[in-house]
Structure 1
């Protein structure tokens, strides 16, 4: 008797499983690298109280250190997209992680403002390449049905990196009694990540040996490498990142001292707001990854989520309940942390919207240019929000963050209109 033929529904399963494992492997490694880059965004801000104690700096001076990081990262990120398109993402990734290790060592041995500025500059140089690197690898190696989830995991890993940095750095500082030891520990983490990615380097290769990159193919078609800069959607995406990052900078660097001033929360308790904001943002990104596959007009997800977050931040800043009421400080901290849920929900839709707005063959360049708006937002806003605190205006931290989110919503809505019009014309 002949064997029964395999069930049509079961036949493709081995290939499906192999594809799933390959996608998950790449997504996990890129997530590890991206989380590390976000960890190094906060290499110095969690240590601000100790730096003020030891060096006597003002918040505005410390905000300028954040500006150094993001100024270097912003200029470098726009240029890194061209480098990634030309030589590939993987070698650029390893160079970036090496810069992080050097940055942490520079901070650990700093004897004054100049040493800390060098640490910020080296960390910014390392951070510059991450978004063109990450999205080039993900778009190249991850199958299309899982791309939304890849973007979700990518965003979650960034938030987890942000959440981990304050806990790691302040925890190690308290345990060891020295912020220098905490920075040395951050250097050790960067070296460990380099070792892991080196051992798994085949899973993050974005091109085969001898394969030409998108920059070569664009040149062969006679396209100018800067042609994508003529697209309004690219600059609207850039503006969206600028405004949304201004809000993020306010929360990351200054929400804790602002809550301390407004609600008399102990500083060590108020500092938990950053980790809380990042963790709720990560939870939002999990949900956002599923929404990307089910909603056509992505800008609607972005608008709804960010408007809700803006309203929450306004509530905290305007003290719409008595600051002296029992539990007022705890409620303010929890509400500020919950505002991260909205920004997280918007994250995967934001990244997919950029992909839809990008012309073919310009992935690295577009992501590099657009994400440099993130760096510019940090560089411009950090000293401004620091100055608000120096001038005893803590409510302005939350009001300014809310306004920035609303301006970002307007930019995302215009990008969505452009993408929809291009689809109708196609």
Structure 2
């Protein structure tokens, strides 16, 4: 099929995510991807693009990693799917065992360990599972008034109604306001006022309403979709202690940060924190197919025993899909065999230094921040609907980079195993694109 035919069909029928479709149909010349290899995408016109954002943060081992492709095809040759309701299989069972062995606090006290794994399809559903687990646990274990959640301004936890309810990015949630349940929003710990102000409100809310709060939910250390806002591990530690003081739950949404993005296996590890519930997706299946998991402590799990009416009646058709589980097991093996965390540790200082230099040298570029293999700067301050970042996107595309911004935030989150030469290409291309836009007046 010719490129023009693909674009014509696309504009006639496909409704794209996060896209003003009238402008897209009228003016956008989309990338038409026909192949991918490592950190690169290949367009139908023969152009190679460096995937600066890991195709929405999922391709942490690059595209078409041969070991992941082999794991997928071998499992497909055995059996591609079965329900996990009253059925099990080796990929799901073995993956669960491996995840709990790697989870924060592995080897700690039994009831506080993340020892149970509930599978689902994507980051939103992983969070939805955690919300329902927390709410149902308290409903049937003597604290039925615990139905509210504390969440952070700027939080993003997914697209389902529950996940949207606990989100804090207004542009993603305001239109759905009448459908959302009430939550307690506190300031972001990444705001200039500092994490102490945010924590004071968390602590005050927990102390004032200990019988109402089911959980505090947060993205550990990096608020991704809000603009890659990085905050101090001290905030995460303080929140964990505050939730323990009133005996309520902490939900760690590691959909973005989990499995190496911050330089640690989990962002919670950088704060030495063990949550009650932990959500995983994105990196878990290395960008090959949708797959997610919600890890729970033994205490949470035991709160659902005692009769069929107390079970967690929740699930999706593809829960524990054997293709996803087989690929996820191979992802963990590649991380170990290729020392992926070590690769991140070696490359992270280069990312940090590059973004600090861009902010220091380029007019209008502000707020450099970096953690692990995430680097970001801002242009102006117009938020998610600002257009400045899209001018950088166009400049980067002309240089062979696929660099999708978050409004006026320009950021990179490439494959964790990106080769050194490709990382140099990426950082140089981002800097050149920012300079071009700055010369043109933003």
TM-score normalised by length of structure 2: 0.24
Structure with the higher fraction of residues in helix conformation: 1
Higher relative contact order (CA closer than 8 Å, sequence separation 6+):
1
Structure with the higher fraction of residues in strand conformation: 2
